[in-house]
Chains A and B, each alone.
Chain A
């Protein structure tokens, strides 16, 4: 992926660039909002990472101008401000995702992947999600694998739906908490792990191959082995 980093703090920018290039991505860096905007308008990036607090033009204004110019490049906002209203303001300005500093790098990578994928996927209405022999019917609210119906609790259904929509990508615990519980904080106990192991017991146990994988120090991934 080609990623533009708009971040005034040199240390953070370097950390981002290093981590992203190690993850196989190409990065450009702008240290101010104005530079960032002109680079975003000129170049073709898959994702743009924008810090909210920037000298001169702030991150939100940058996104607003970018959207006014008709660019739909996905934007991930990085910010130290983590309150609900801050997030809402960021997303309202045209941002696609909001990550509060400090963050785990694996979290950032997972979210960037999800954003890039979402942008390339057609915005068509899906009623049936399918991965290998696992099927999830969004209208009938049913799940089956290999033709055998699987009985899921409502929350398990939502978790599986999210995983299937992001099949092949790393999904972090935080992403699941946000999507399924609308929680923007980390509960102290690793509650998500228990939900995942229950879900795994239902969709993988007795079936082959296993689809729901745990990615160490990152999260989970639902994928059919190649």
Chain B
């Protein structure tokens, strides 16, 4: 991780931006404080000078020049008054009393306020001090000057400027360090995601992004990415399987079809046999078409739900509908067929795909249950879930194969002889995923028990929707866009 990479991260840039904003706000604050304090110092100095010069003028009124000079001397000698400046000058501006050596040659404006620079010796060094002074012409033409050393104000400015410089420098340094640390951390997290992504791009779809378990935004991103990767992997696997299967399984009926036609052509024209051959051709073509249909439906279910197609429906009613279709078939085969359901179970679903899933489960059950066996179809609802269960007393599926039978075109060897495409349970699995339903394939001891568990929707909402359950209502009819 080179420094250049760190500097180029967005975190670093963000922190740099914050530093600039921070420095700007500190200088703004300090300038404001400085400006207000200086104004206050100035005002106080002016007020003191004003009152002093007035009291000196009063002394002049009362006691004449001598009185003024006396008071001036007292004030100069008073301890702590070293920054006070006084001067009494003759009409020709010759100094008469006070601690200023000469009348300043600064031009007097009309206000009487003048800037004044006095050179003082501080620890053996001569330093010019800025003063603020007020002049007044006394009756008789004498000049009076009272001033204050404003050096403190300059000191204060230096302190403020220093504080500004130090805080800015410190802030910039700290945020630079912080920026580098934060950016390095972020870069490291991003780097792990990027590394995983690179491995996936290289072809290893099983790679997953690892979070650090803190549950922060990177962990959440990792979770979402992993969920996305799971889905992509599943789709890829499904697609690969579909293409593989298309090559193998769909070729079977089409090959048979072809050979049947060829045979029919080889035979001398004989109406009855021709018709039989053609009927068989038709049958095989239908089988191939049915496979295509089911593959398309599975692909559709796996590509996710279209919002407009999901609606409230009663799983009980939907299942009863299918049960009433298969019951006579089961009974005809000498199978005991039982349907158990009590209350309506309202779920959000795609009616057609769900109906076909239930039909597929019943179809399998009827197909694999021997005469004298038993099929139990039930819908049970709890406060939060609705479970559809189809249990038969057929040969069942060995534990090792229970995951596998949900895949496309997987047919257990024992069933190869019976008709079927190997797509029935794959469609059920895809439809279960589409509905976020939990699908289980269990041992019914003996036999197979398949359950689909759906999330139920609020019973109060469900009751009002009972009517909509079986077929499209007039209202829904109108809601489907043209």
A181–B279 Cα gap in the complex (Å)?
Answer: 28
CA distance A186 to B352 in the complex (A): 12
A88 adjacent to B352 (CB under 8 Å): no
Q: Are B477 and A88 in contact (CB under 8 A)?
A: yes
Q: Which of A96-153 contact B (CB under 8 A)?
A: 102, 153
Q: How far is the CA of A182 from the CA of B351 in the complex (A)?
A: 10
The range of chain A's interface size is 20 to 34
Q: Give the shortest distance, in Å, between B365 (CB) and chain A (any CB).
A: 11
Chain A interface: which of B73-81, B87-95, B168-176, B355-363?
Answer: B355-363
A85-B308 in contact (CB<8A): yes
Q: How far is the CA of A198 from the CA of B324 in the complex (A)?
A: 13
A62-89 CB mask vs B (1 if < 8 Å, else 0) is 0000000000000000000001110011
Residues of A within 8 A of B326 (CB): 189, 191
Residue A92 CB within 8 A of the other chain: yes
Residues of A within 8 A of B428 (CB): none
**A102 lies within 8 A of B289 (CB):** yes
Contacts of A184 in B (CB 8 A): 352
| Known A182-B470, A189-B329, A194-B332; contact A89-B324, beta-carbon cutoff 8 A | no
A188 near B363 (CB under 8 angstroms)?
yes
How many A-B contacts if CB must be within 8 Å?
71
Residues of chain A within 8 A (CB-CB) of B325 are 155, 181, 183, 187, 191, 195
Contact B419 A188 (CB under 8 A): yes
Determine whether B398 belongs to the interface, using a CB cutoff of 8 Å to chain A: no
- Partner of A195 from the list B289, B328, B366 (CB cut-off 8 Å) is B328
Please, what's the 1-or-0 string for B30-72, where 1 marks a CB less than 8 Å from any CB in chain A? Answer: 0000000000000000000000000000000000000000000
Residues of B near A208 (CB, < 8 A) are: none
Q: How far is the CA of A60 from the CA of B420 in the complex (A)?
A: 37
Shortest Cβ distance from residue A146 to the other chain B in the assembled complex, whole angstroms:
25
1/0 per position for A161-191, CB-CB distance to B under 8 A?
Answer: 0000000000000000000011111111101
Q: Which residues of A contact B328 (CB under 8 A)?
A: 191, 194-195, 198
Closest to B419 in A: A188
Residues of B within 8 A of A85 (CB): 306, 308-309, 480
Q: Which residues of B contact A185 (CB under 8 A)?
A: 293, 352, 355-356, 359
Residues of B within 8 A of A194 (CB): 328-329, 332
Interface membership of A1, Cβ < 8 A: no
- Give Cα A92 to B324, complex, Å: 30
Residues of chain A touching chain B, judged by Cβ–Cβ distance below 8 Å, are 60, 83-85, 88-89, 92-93, 102, 153-155, 181-189, 191, 194-195, 198, 217
Which 7 A-B pairs rank lowest in CB-CB distance, beginning with the nearest?
A: A194-B328, A194-B329, A88-B480, A187-B359, A185-B356, A155-B324, A188-B363
Starting from the known contacts A89-B480, A188-B420, A188-B421, 5 additional A-B residue pairs (CB-CB under 8 Å) come to A88-B472, A88-B477, A182-B355, A189-B363, A191-B328
Q: Can you name 18 A-B residue pairings with CB atoms under 8 Å? A: A88-B472, A92-B482, A153-B324, A181-B321, A181-B322, A183-B355, A183-B356, A183-B359, A184-B352, A186-B290, A188-B360, A188-B363, A189-B329, A189-B367, A191-B329, A194-B328, A194-B332, A195-B325
> B residues touching A (Cβ–Cβ < 8 Å)?
279, 289-290, 293, 300, 306, 308-309, 321-322, 324-326, 328-329, 332, 351-352, 355-356, 359-360, 363, 366-367, 419-421, 424, 470-472, 477, 480-482
